[in-house]
């Protein structure tokens, strides 16, 4: 009964359990709480209410009675680690908030979740401080529950659940890839088509475990699909809108690098060097100055849409490009217009 980590690393745990032949009838929430380490009965019940418990491929309620040889599949949100519990007074750009969810616009350069070498200064530390002393309508303390991540040097929108049931319902949507997400990216080069799809099997690079590689062999990685649409071209670089069909680590960055168009300013994937255009001093200085404006790669999680955990209505949120990204775009506008005017 080993948990299988989902695409968002330890934010999801997937269990598959085959019930013993001699098992007597027992409520599934009582059955599972004794078989999954550190899983409370409330957490199991919330998973069932969110549709995250299947028996023989059918969704069941918390009062379902398990029978011998039932095959149980359960998706549980990952548990927070002790190192995360350090509230820090860090400003947050909150786009929306209600009883169940908070939508935050994360700046580039901020890690979402505490981990090795990044125990403080993260978005999670800021959320812990923001919710200090706050309670819900039932008088329960509010705790921030993460359901997804974006890279440290990527800016944009993130959904935060404010209770375990909301977390379970949102986790189910991420697991099913039904969350609608669009990114704006600036990539090197002039893309051949106005629209396109990049596909492949993504996994850690064998040469450098810090980055991801796209493989053709399905046994070497997980399926990953990115759709893109060109917004504007400048010959040297192209502004694109990306929509994710899957949500793997570094997906957009690795996908565009795999087709020879890494993101502008992306050091890890070869995008923080001149990949198109001459190396004469004026152009080189222009590109270097543009790199220096960016806090990370030119990638922004611009929109996010999902089914609200309480209203069950589809909701949609959008954020503007950060100032550094917008300034780089305007610089390319001015540079290309000036070059065309001079010629």
Residues with a known catalytic role: 151
CA distance 199 to 259: 10
Closest C-alpha among 159, 162, 130, 163 to residue 147: 159
Beta strand extents in 88-154 (DSSP E only): 94-97, 101-106, 145-146
CB atoms within 10 A of CB 99: 12
Q: Are 214 and 225 in contact (CB under 8 A)?
A: no
Phi-psi region of 138 (alpha: psi -120 to 50; beta: other; left: phi over 0): alpha
CB atoms within 10 A of CB 5: 13
CA distance 226 to 177: 12
Helices and strands counted in the chain (H then E): 7, 18
Strand partners, 155: 300
Q: Are 324 and 294 in contact (CB under 8 A)?
A: yes
CA distance 241 to 229: 5
CA distance 125 to 298: 25
CA distance 264 to 153: 12
């Amino acid at each position: 009964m080993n948990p299988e980590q989902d695409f968002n690393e330890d934010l999801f745990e997937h269990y598959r359990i085959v019930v013993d032949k001699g098992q007597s009838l027992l409520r599934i929430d009582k059955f599972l709480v004794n078989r999954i380490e550190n899983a409370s009965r409330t957490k199991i019940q919330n998973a069932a209410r969110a549709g995250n418990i299947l028996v023989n491929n059918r969704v069941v309620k918390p009062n379902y009675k398990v029978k011998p040889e039932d095959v149980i599949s359960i998706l549980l949100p990952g548990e927070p680690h002790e190192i995360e519990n350090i509230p820090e007074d860090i400003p947050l750009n909150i786009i929306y908030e209600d009883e169940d969810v908070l939508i935050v616009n994360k700046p580039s350069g901020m890690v979402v979740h505490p981990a090795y070498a990044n125990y403080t200064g993260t978005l999670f530390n800021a959320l812990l401080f923001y919710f200090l002393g706050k309670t819900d309508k039932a008088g329960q303390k509010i705790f921030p529950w993460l359901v997804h991540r974006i890279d440290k040097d990527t800016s944009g929108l993130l959904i935060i659940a404010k209770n375990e049931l909301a977390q379970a319902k949102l986790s189910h949507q991420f697991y099913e890839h039904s969350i609608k997400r669009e990114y704006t990216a600036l990539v090197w080069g002039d893309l051949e088509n106005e629209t396109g799809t990049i596909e492949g099997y993504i996994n850690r690079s064998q040469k450098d475990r810090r980055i991801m590689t796209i493989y053709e062999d399905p046994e070497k990685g997980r399926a990953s699909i990115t759709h893109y649409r060109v917004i504007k071209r400048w010959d040297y670089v192209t502004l694109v809108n990306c929509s994710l069909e899957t949500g793997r680590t570094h997906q957009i960055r690795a996908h565009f690098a795999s087709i020879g168009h890494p993101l502008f300013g992306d050091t890890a994937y070869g995008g923080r060097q001149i990949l198109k255009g001459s190396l004469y001093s004026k152009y080189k200085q222009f590109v270097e100055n543009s790199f220096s404006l960016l806090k990370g790669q030119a990638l922004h999680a611009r929109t996010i849409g999902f089914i609200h955990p309480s209203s069950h209505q589809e909701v949609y949120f959008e954020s503007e490009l950060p100032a550094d990204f917008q300034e780089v775009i305007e610089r390319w506008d001015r540079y290309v217009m000036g070059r065309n005017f001079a010629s």
